[in-house]
Homo-oligomer: A and B are copies of this chain.
C-alpha cells in the first residue's frame, strides 16, 4: 500500500525536474489498540496485517498467552482502531500496562524489561550454510519492498525455509506481526528461528525469548545490552550477516561451524 506524491528532483549539476515526479512513498498508519473498551496504545505502523500486529503486540506485552485468550477482534480500518476482547480467565500481568518503557529507534514496548520468564531452551542447531541460505531468501523477499526505503522485515523460519514473513516501518512491529500470525494460526515458535532486518537491542531480545526462540539472526548490529541479555537468556545471537560473513555473539554452540 504505497501512495504516490508529486516531488521535484534536483541533481548535483543543478538540473531540476520541475514537473512533478511520482515517487514511491512509505505509508504510515496509526492503529489504536483497545483492550475491551480501554485504549491501550496507538502504534504508528505499515497498514498491513493489522490484526496480527495487535495480537502480537498484546502477546509481546504479556497480556495474552495464546489464541485461547482471545474472544473477539473487531478492526475498523478507516478509523484506525482495533478492539480486542479477551477471556476473563486470561493470565494478564496486572502491572503489564502500568509502566511504559519507551525506547530508542524502533522501540514501543509498554512493559519494562523483565527476567521473569525462562531461558530459551532448545536442542536446535544450524549450519553457516543454512544461515546464509535463509538470509538470501529473507533479503529476496525484503527487496520487493526495498524500493521505498525505510521498511523493516522479520521472519519466522525453520533451518530450511521462511515460514512467516512480515514487514513494517517499525522493526518491533514487523516482529510483532510475525508472532501475532503465529499465535493466530497456532504455529509453534519453539525450536524456531527469527530473522530481523533491524538492530538487536535488549527489547528485541526480550520479545523473542517470550516465544522461546533459541536462535536470533540479524542483518544489522546488536547493542551491548542486546548481547548481554541474549547471553543470559540462552539465545544464540548472530549479527551482521551480510557481505559473505556473519558474527556469532552468544551461545554459539547451536551453530555447527568448522573449528580450525
| A interface residues, Cβ below 8 angstroms from B | 3, 5, 7-18, 21, 23, 25-28, 30, 39, 41-46, 99-110, 112, 128-129, 132, 148-150, 152, 168-173, 198-199, 201-203, 220-227, 240, 244-249, 252, 255, 257-260
Contact = CB atoms under 8 A, between A and B. Distances in A.
A221 B146 CA distance: 11
The 3 closest A-B pairs by CB, nearest first: A104-B170, A28-B223, A44-B103
14 contacts: A7-B247, A8-B247, A9-B246, A12-B244, A14-B257, A21-B247, A26-B222, A28-B202, A43-B102, A100-B100, A103-B108, A107-B107, A107-B108, A169-B201
Given A42-B112, A252-B8, A152 B105 contact: yes
- Identical copies in the complex: 2
Summarize A's interface: helix, strand, loop or mixed: mixed
A252 B7 CA distance: 9
Given A12-B244, A15-B260, A104-B169, 11 more contacts: A5-B224, A8-B248, A9-B246, A12-B128, A15-B258, A26-B224, A42-B103, A44-B103, A104-B106, A104-B170, A105-B171
